[in-house]
C-alpha cells in the first residue's frame, strides 16, 4: 500500500487525485488503493471543507489499529528503527502505516522528506503505506493533522500505525497523547539521559530504546535510565517502562522492541488503560476541533466592529480584558 508505487491506470489515478467524492475515496482506500489513501490524507492536511464528511465516513473503523509513537532527539536513529520495525511487523503479516512527521521547509512549508528517503526498502510493498507530513510550525513534534491522518490509515485497514515525530528535543511529548505505546529512543554519548530528566520524557515513555548500543557508553546510558525509572513512584500493577538495547542499522534488537510493544499492549488491555488512553485521545481531538472553530469565528470578528470596539475600550481603560473576553464569548455563542 506504499504511496510510492502506482498500480492504477493513469486516468483512474488522475481522477482519484482530483476527487472529493468522500464515499468513493474511503471505499477505494479500504480496498488498499494507495492513491485514495493519499488523497484522503491530503484533504485532512489541507483542512478541506469536506473534512467533516471524511471523519464521518472513517468513524466506523476507529480504534482498529495499534498506534505506536517513536520519539527522541535528532540523530538517535528514529527512521532506521522505524524502517526495521516495519520489516518485523510485515514478517508477522501485519499491514503497516507510517506517518513520518518531518520539519517544515522554511521556503515552501512542506515536509523535507528525509524520513521517506530512509524507508525506501518498503517503497514497493503493497502492505506498507508511508507518508511524510510537514509539522508546519506545530509544536510538540507532530503535525496538527496527525490524529486525523491516523484515522485514515485505520480506515485503510492498517493493523499497526507507526508515528515518527520530528525530533525537535525537549518539547516533543505530544506523541504520548496520540499513541497507545510510546517509544523513546536514546543513544550513547548524546547526553540523552540528562535530556530525559530535563524534558519530562521519562513520564511519556512506555519503552526506552537505547539505540546504537555498540557504542561506548551504552551500558552507562542503560544504567542511567534504569536508575531514573527506579526513582519513579508506581502503585501496584502500574506499568514499569522497559529498557531495550538495539543496533537498528544492523537490525539487532528489533525483535526485542517488538516483544516489548506486545507486552505493553497486553498490559494496556488487561488494566483497561487502552480504553482510557483512546478516550483521552478522542477528547483531545474534540477539544482541538472546537478550538479551531472558535479561532475561525474570532478571526471573522476582526473584519467586523465587535473586536475592534472591545479592543478600543480595553485600551482606554473603560473595561478590563477579562470582561471584554466574556463579552466576546457571549457574542460568539449568540
CATH of the domain at 129: 3.40.50.300
> Is the same domain home to 250 and 290?
no
313 or 2, which is more confident? 313
> Is the same domain home to 210 and 305?
no
Residue 325 within any structural domain of the chain: yes
Tell me the three state secondary structure of residue 135.
coil
> Is the same domain home to 141 and 191?
yes
When divided into structural domains, the chain yields a total of 2
Structural domain ending residue among the three candidates 271, 297, 316: 271
What ranges make up the beta strands (E) of 152-228?
160-164, 181-186, 207-210
> Is the same domain home to 76 and 183?
yes
Q: CB-based burial of residue 24 (10 Å sphere; 0-12 exposed, 13-18 middle, 19+ buried)?
A: middle
Residue 50 within any structural domain of the chain: no
> Is the same domain home to 238 and 303?
no
List the one residue out of 189, 197, 208 whose CA is nearest residue 71.
208
Tell me the three state secondary structure of residue 182.
strand
229: how many CB neighbours lie within 10 A of its CB?
16
- The residue-averaged pLDDT of 182-207 equals 74
User: For the ranges 175-189, 212-226, 236-250, 256-270, which has the lowest average pLDDT?
Assistant: 175-189
pLDDT, residue 3, reads: 54
List the one residue out of 292, 44, 111 whose CA is nearest residue 20.
44
> Is the same domain home to 232 and 301?
no
> Is the same domain home to 79 and 130?
yes
> Is the same domain home to 212 and 76?
yes
> Is the same domain home to 73 and 217?
yes
Residue 276 within any structural domain of the chain: no
Report residue 316 as a C-alpha cell: 482606554
Residue 49 within any structural domain of the chain: no
- 0.85 surpassed by pTM: no
Residue 329 within any structural domain of the chain: yes
Q: What is the pLDDT of residues 28-70, one digit of tens each?
A: 999 989 999 999 999 998 888 898 999 999 999 988 999 999 9
Structural domain ending residue among the three candidates 232, 251, 271: 271
> Is the same domain home to 178 and 109?
yes
Residue 241 within any structural domain of the chain: yes
pLDDT, residue 215, reads: 94
List the one residue out of 138, 145, 118, 139 whose CA is nearest residue 130.
118
Residue 266: give the domain boundaries: 63-271
Length of the chain: 334
> Is the same domain home to 245 and 304?
no
> Is the same domain home to 261 and 162?
yes
Q: Sort residue 186 into left (φ over 0), alpha (ψ -120 to 50) or beta.
A: beta
271 or 136, which is more confident? 271
Report residue 251 as a C-alpha cell: 537490525
Residue 226 within any structural domain of the chain: yes
β-pairing verdict for 128-134 and 96-102:
parallel
User: Do residues 193 and 225 make contact, with C-beta atoms less than 8 angstroms apart?
Assistant: yes
Q: What is the pLDDT of residues 209-243, one digit of tens each?
A: 999 999 999 999 999 888 888 887 788 889 999 99
Report residue 81 as a C-alpha cell: 528503527
Cα(324)–Cα(314) distance, integer angstroms: 7
Residue 3 within any structural domain of the chain: no
Structural domain ending residue among the three candidates 248, 271, 294: 271
Q: What is the CA radius of gyration of the chain?
A: 22
Amino acid at each position: 500500500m506504499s504511496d510510492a508505487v502506482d498500480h492504477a491506470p493513469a486516468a483512474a489515478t488522475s481522477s482519484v487525485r482530483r476527487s472529493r467524492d468522500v464515499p468513493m475515496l474511503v471505499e477505494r482506500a479500504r480496498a488498499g488503493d494507495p492513491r485514495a489513501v493519499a488523497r484522503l490524507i491530503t484533504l485532512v492536511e489541507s483542512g478541506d471543507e469536506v473534512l467533516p464528511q471524511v471523519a464521518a465516513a472513517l468513524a466506523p473503523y476507529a480504534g482498529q489499529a495499534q498506534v505506536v509513537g517513536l520519539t527522541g532527539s535528532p540523530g538517535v536513529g528514529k527512521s532506521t528503527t522505524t524502517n526495521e520495525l516495519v520489516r518485523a511487523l510485515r514478517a508477522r503479516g501485519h499491514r503497516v502505516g507510517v506517518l513520518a512527521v518531518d520539519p517544515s521547509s522554511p521556503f515552501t512549508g512542506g515536509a523535507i522528506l528525509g524520513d521517506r528517503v530512509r524507508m525506501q526498502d518498503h517503497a514497493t510493498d503493497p502492505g506498507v503505506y508511508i507518508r511524510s507530513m510537514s509539522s508546519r510550525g506545530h509544536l510538540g513534534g507532530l503535525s496538527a493533522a496527525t490524529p486525523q491522518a491516523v484515522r485514515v490509515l485505520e480506515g485503510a485497514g492498517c493493523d499497526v500505525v507507526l508515528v515518527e515525530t520530528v525530533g525537535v528535543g525537549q518539547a516533543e511529548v505530544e506523541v504520548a497523547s496520540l499513541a497507545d505505546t510510546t517509544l523513546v529512543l536514546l543513544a550513547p554519548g548524546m547526553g540523552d539521559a540528562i535530556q530525559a530528566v530535563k524534558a519530562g520524557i521519562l513520564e511519556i515513555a512506555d519503552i526506552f530504546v537505547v539505540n546504537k548500543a555498540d557504542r561506548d557508553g551504552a551500558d552507562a546510558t542503560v544504567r542511567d535510565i534504569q536508575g531514573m525509572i527506579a526513582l519513579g513512584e508506581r502503585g501496584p500493577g502500574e506499568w514499569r517502562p522497559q529498557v531495550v538495547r538495539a543496533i537498528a542499522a544492523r537490525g539487532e534488537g528489533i525483535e526485542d522492541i517488538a516483544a516489548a510493544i506486545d507486552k505493553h499492549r497486553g498490559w494496556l488491555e488487561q488494566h483497561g488503560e487502552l480504553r482510557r488512553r483512546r478516550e483521552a485521545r478522542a477528547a483531545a481531538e474534540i477539544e482541538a476541533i472546537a478550538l479551531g472553530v472558535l479561532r475561525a469565528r474570532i478571526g471573522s470578528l476582526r473584519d467586523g466592529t465587535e473586536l475592534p470596539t472591545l479592543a478600543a475600550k480595553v485600551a482606554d481603560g473603560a473595561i478590563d480584558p477579562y470582561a471584554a473576553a466574556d463579552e466576546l464569548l457571549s457574542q460568539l455563542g449568540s
